[in-house]
């Protein structure tokens, strides 16, 4: 019966959720007003208080989006919930029958999806296991695509990031009602969610809202406004309207999503093309997040970062890129991506049995993810940050379509949701439960104590590897490849010094 569900009282009104097996779930909770009408393309406005008890037993509306294109649509479930009030969140909390706990660690999940896909309703992100283990888990929806990350002359940039900050403000103000400690909040995200997390760590508007952070398969990156607005202009040209928020607000939403998909469908982080990116706007993101974090932003925030071993395989294998790329095409793409020939030779020498497409993918994984994350860890170490920095790598290989240790594979392990069919679409039916238990426990420990269970980053560069068998701490892998990238960085810095 709905009237028997658990209830909490927040500063905005009462909520009624659902409870089972010691966990209460409050779903579709608004943290800001619906971004429609006059509020479309505007910063989020605080939610209006309500009277009575609001039912919170079903996921709220998702942000406007299109499904993943085949074949990724079969691997990455992306449910759509209709409605205008997409600025909502979900809370899972321990519940002993009499009410919530108190002073519990809080984790806030920011989903990935290239800033155009995803939502908090993805079943893989179910927060039950975190609540079972003493964490209040919050997952957030935010505006996507042109409505969340378009760059206009007549509207603020980074509206999706502003939504995330509004959600974190709600957490600060309301999470105690669910048993959470607003002074012990860990923000974690994967892919675009990790990029968002890094930007939030560098944002003055989010200071004090984040106490620990986990960055999974995404690196600190943002574009200058002029470059970030190119995607908006390309969509405007496709639609035949001015590149203004006022003009876009008058476009049919289905037509807008169709044009957005056509413009961004062929973009690639390695070779370029149109895609939505976080913008250096001078306010939410005053400067490049990588530079800000290296210079000490969020130095007091404990940081856990990492990648999967073969990130690229999620895109390269199902699309056939690994088989289509030959030596000549590989060289052309590496030249376009400005990868030095010396670095490429090191990779070829160290991977003698791999196809040119696989070597290209390994280079892309390191260039876009592993190298920037290692550089940030080194910068925090040099700065003598008081907070801990920890690195991991997820190396268990999925047998599905020979995806291997691909992008997003670790998510079902982190959330301990291996039994769900949506997780098994990527992992297959026989993923090791003991590995999920170990990885999930590390994330819980990090949220609770700031220590995931292995040595923090130091000059020996320890990396926790989650792979077949028990996880183990190893020296940072692929030393020759790492040194090749570092040699490139040193040569570039030497040229800059010589140039004055």
| Cα 334 off chain centre by | 26
Q: Given the structure tokens 């056939």, which residue do they identify? A: 320
Would you say the C-alpha torsion 344, 340, 322, 467 has a positive or negative sign?
positive
Asked whether the beta carbons of 409 and 403 are under 8 A apart, the reply is yes
Residues 6+ apart with CB under 8 A from 72: 314, 318
What CA–CA distance (Å, rounded) separates 255 from 495?
A: 48
What CA–CA distance (Å, rounded) separates 386 from 394?
A: 26
**Catalytic positions, please?**
191, 311, 407
What CA–CA distance (Å, rounded) separates 244 from 408?
A: 34
Asked whether the beta carbons of 341 and 188 are under 8 A apart, the reply is no
């Amino acid at each position: 019966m709905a009237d028997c569900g658990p209830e909490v009282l927040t500063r905005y009104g009462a909520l009624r959720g659902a409870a089972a097996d010691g966990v209460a779930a409050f779903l579709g909770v608004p943290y800001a007003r619906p971004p429609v009408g006059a509020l479309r393309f505007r910063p989020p406005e605080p939610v209006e208080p309500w009277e009575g008890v609001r039912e919170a037993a079903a996921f709220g509306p998702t942000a406007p989006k299109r499904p993943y294109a085949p074949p990724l649509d079969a691997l990455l479930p992306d449910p759509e919930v209709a409605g205008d009030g997409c600025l909502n969140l979900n809370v899972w909390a321990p519940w002993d029958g009499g009410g919530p706990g108190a002073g519990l660690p809080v984790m806030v999940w920011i989903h990935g999806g290239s800033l155009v896909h995803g939502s908090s309703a993805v079943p893989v992100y179910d927060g039950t296991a975190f609540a079972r283990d003493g964490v209040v888990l919050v997952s957030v929806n935010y505006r996507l695509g042109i409505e969340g990350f378009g760059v206009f002359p007549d509207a603020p940039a980074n509206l999706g990031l502003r939504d995330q900050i509004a959600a974190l403000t709600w957490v600060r103000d309301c999470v105690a009602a669910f048993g959470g400690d607003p002074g012990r909040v860990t923000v974690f995200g994967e892919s675009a969610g990790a990029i968002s997390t890094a930007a939030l760590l560098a944002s003055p508007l989010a200071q004090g809202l984040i106490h620990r952070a986990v960055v999974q398969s995404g690196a600190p990156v943002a574009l200058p406004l002029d470059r970030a607005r190119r995607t908006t202009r390309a969509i405007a040209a496709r639609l035949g309207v001015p590149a203004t928020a006022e003009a876009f607000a008058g476009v049919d939403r289905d037509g807008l999503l169709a044009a957005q998909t056509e413009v961004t469908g062929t973009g690639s982080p390695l070779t370029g093309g149109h895609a939505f990116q976080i913008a250096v706007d001078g306010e939410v993101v005053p400067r490049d997040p990588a530079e800000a974090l290296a210079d000490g932003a969020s130095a007091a925030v404990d940081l856990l970062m990492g990648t999967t071993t073969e990130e690229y395989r999620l895109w390269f294998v199902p699309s056939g890129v690994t088989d289509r790329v030959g030596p000549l095409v590989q060289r052309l793409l590496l030249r376009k991506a400005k990868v030095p020939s010396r670095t490429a030779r090191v990779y070829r020498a160290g991977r003698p049995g791999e196809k040119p497409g696989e070597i290209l993918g390994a280079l892309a994984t390191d260039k876009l993810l592993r190298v920037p994350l290692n550089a940030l860890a080194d910068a925090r170490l040099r700065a003598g940050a008081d907070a801990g920095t920890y690195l991991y790598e997820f190396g268990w290989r999925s047998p599905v379509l020979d995806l291997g240790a691909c992008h997003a594979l670790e998510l079902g392990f982190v959330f301990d949701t291996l039994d769900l069919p949506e997780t098994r679409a990527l992992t297959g039916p026989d993923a090791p439960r003991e590995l999920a238990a170990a990885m999930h426990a590390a994330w819980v420990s990090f949220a609770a104590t700031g220590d995931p269970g292995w040595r923090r980053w130091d000059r020996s560069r320890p990396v926790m590897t989650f792979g077949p068998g028990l996880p183990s701490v190893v020296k940072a892998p692929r030393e020759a490849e790492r040194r090749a990238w570092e040699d490139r960085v040193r040569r570039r810095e030497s040229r800059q010094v010589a140039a004055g």
